[in-house]
Amino acid sequence: MSEGCARREFPSRPAVPLALPALLVVLAVERLIMTEVVTWGPLAFGIVLLLAGLLARAAFPSARRGEGGLRALVPVLGAACVAAALAGLSCRASVARVSEALASSSVSGWRFELVGDMSPITTGAWRGRARVEGEACSGYVWLTSPDELLMGDRIRCVGRFLPNADDEWGRSSAAQGLSGSVRVVLATERDEPDGLALLARRVRWAALDVLRPGESDSGALLAACVCGYAPPMRARGLSEEFSRAGISHLAAVSGSHLALVASCVSAVLEGLCLGVRQRCVASILVTGGFVLLCGLPVSAVRAWAMACVSQAVALSGRRGHQLSSASLVGLGMALLDPSLSGQLGFLLSLSSVVGIGLFCPYARFALSEAALALGSMGAGAAGRGVPRPLGQAFGRLGRVGRGALDALAACVVCQASTFAIGASSFGSVSLVAPLTNLLAAPVLGILMPLGLAAGVASPAPVAADGLARLAGVVAQPLLAGVSWLSSLGLA
């Protein structure tokens, strides 16, 4: 009885930091301002809320135990509202200013730098996000080109600028901090990046040459997982299959990939005579280099910043708290760049991490209870006339390992946390995602180290080719399973 009670101990309530409600307020206010739903209202409301909270604290300084955090909530939310309103208004003004400047001048007088990989579009052209620089201002636009340009390329061109239209695509682009679209007719200059960016690009493309993403589905998957290069997956139709199966995040560099890289680095560093501080610094530098090689996707940047905060907390001798780290990092990133409130990758990544911090213990508890109940059903099935094979199946489900339950709980929580964003953005939700994630996670744990080893071994072509081929063999069962699951009628 005591063992059963220990098993059924209900998880404790998670500690919710003040940074989390402040983050939600910041994202909501910035999104409303960037989409031009409101203008000055949030700023005025935030000032009133901040003053009211400060006056209340000054008028009633004494508070009973446990009320300190609640009393601080009002001024914190007011300050977050004011900061988000100022950041959002500044960003929106910058978007409008760049749009007006581009519309009133020749495109050939501006310089464009690709800040991400281009993707093929239905017209046969390529489109990517680019930073645009003029004499008086700078910002971001969509750059459409008949030929693929590489991330980091700096060009001058003859082309045509189209401001954001008053439709869903235009509003979405404005919310992401983009001033419009530039269609390249003729590139008159094309320069490579310099310094560290050039080194990172050469290392990345050396790894891609080894992985050969254009030759096979496994190569395309490895390029997306290891180098953050997704166009081959889209061109081969794999992105659609992974989306239907609910594991698009495995083909986009994010926190899970960074955790695998960190574990590989930790395994290597354990064999060296280094102190804890040196190992932490080395892990941060290597994972930061990995994020740089992948093109600085916002989900990976968020995960790396969280890792930096966690390592700093650990080195200071204090206990880490995932929810606090995620909230503080998300808050800082959103205030520094309000356009993140409109970028789907950032919102999905942040929602998943916050959801896991809040609800994963409860989901794990519920699944453990279900597994125990299924085990009991399997044990007593014979006495109740249940067919033996069915009873055995219930018994096996009841003996599901703790690792599998943890993975399934995390997947279910991520699905629930991102349900509203995914459904409103894509118009569909994957019903097979929990099963697919449960089957794919162990394969990714083998695939990523092999792909990384192949990329690192690129100066030795024979070894790199052998590792890439082995990784391709490991990827085949995953690709076959995803293809089958995504083809189910109700996937």
Q: Is the pTM of this model over 0.95?
A: no
Q: What is the mean pLDDT of the chain?
A: 82
Q: For residue 420, with 0-12 CB atoms within 10 Å meaning exposed, 13-18 middle and 19 or more buried, which class applies?
A: exposed
* Residue 490 pLDDT: 76
Spatial CA neighbour of 225 closest among 463, 489, 449, 483: 449
* Residue 380 pLDDT: 55
* Residue 403 pLDDT: 62
Tens of pLDDT, residues 254-296 = 777 777 777 777 777 777 777 777 878 888 888 888 888 787 7
Q: Are 181 and 141 in contact (CB under 8 A)?
A: yes
Confidence category of residue 10, pLDDT binned at 50, 70, 90 = confident
Mean pLDDT of 310-326: 79
Mean pLDDT of 127-145: 91
For residue 246, what are its two tokens? 């609910």
Q: Are 164 and 180 in contact (CB under 8 A)?
A: yes
CA 98 to CA 96: how far, in whole Å? 6
pLDDT of 53 strictly over 60:
yes
Confidence category of residue 181, pLDDT binned at 50, 70, 90 = very high
Confidence category of residue 425, pLDDT binned at 50, 70, 90 = confident
For residue 435, what are its two tokens? 């099963």
- Which of 86-95, 121-130, 401-410 ranks highest by mean pLDDT? 86-95
pLDDT of 379 strictly over 60:
no
- Which of 55-69, 90-104, 321-335, 352-366 ranks highest by mean pLDDT? 90-104
Confidence category of residue 402, pLDDT binned at 50, 70, 90 = low
Neighbours of 368 (CB within 10 A): 17
More confident residue, 238 or 379: 238
CA 224 to CA 208: how far, in whole Å? 10
Tens of pLDDT, residues 224-249 = 888 888 888 888 888 888 888 888 87
CA 481 to CA 188: how far, in whole Å? 46
- Residues 6 or more apart from 411 whose CB is under 8 A from it? 433, 434, 437, 438
Confidence category of residue 390, pLDDT binned at 50, 70, 90 = very low
Looking at beta carbons, which pairs linking 479-483 to residues 24 or more positions away fall under 8 Å? 479/217, 479/218, 479/221, 479/238, 481/436, 481/439, 481/440, 482/241, 482/242, 482/245, 482/247, 482/436, 482/440, 483/241
CA 83 to CA 336: how far, in whole Å? 10
Start-to-end CA distance of the chain, whole Å, equals 42
- Which of 12-16, 183-187, 204-208, 278-282 ranks highest by mean pLDDT? 183-187
For residue 244, what are its two tokens? 């239907």
pLDDT of 6 strictly over 50:
no
Mean pLDDT of 145-161: 91
CA 368 to CA 362: how far, in whole Å? 10
Confidence category of residue 62, pLDDT binned at 50, 70, 90 = low
Mean pLDDT of 365-386: 64
More confident residue, 59 or 69: 59
Q: For residue 428, with 0-12 CB atoms within 10 Å meaning exposed, 13-18 middle and 19 or more buried, which class applies?
A: exposed
* Range with the poorest average pLDDT among 3-7, 427-431, 432-436: 3-7
Q: Give the distance, in angstroms, between the CA of residue 295 and the centroid of all CA atoms in the same chain.
A: 13
Confidence category of residue 404, pLDDT binned at 50, 70, 90 = low
Element of type H or E holding 171? helix 168-175
Q: Are 225 and 218 in contact (CB under 8 A)?
A: no
pLDDT of 52 strictly over 50:
yes
Spatial CA neighbour of 43 closest among 99, 7, 90: 90
* Residue 3 pLDDT: 44
* Range with the poorest average pLDDT among 287-296, 326-335, 463-472: 287-296
Mean pLDDT of 189-208: 84
For residue 243, what are its two tokens? 């989306």
CA 233 to CA 251: how far, in whole Å? 9
CA angle 464, 441, 483 (to 5 degrees): 85
In percent, the amount of the chain with pLDDT more than 70 equals 89
SS3 of residue 306 by DSSP: helix
CA 332 to CA 337: how far, in whole Å? 9
- Residues 6 or more apart from 224 whose CB is under 8 A from it? 213, 230, 232, 233, 251, 252, 253
More confident residue, 351 or 265: 351
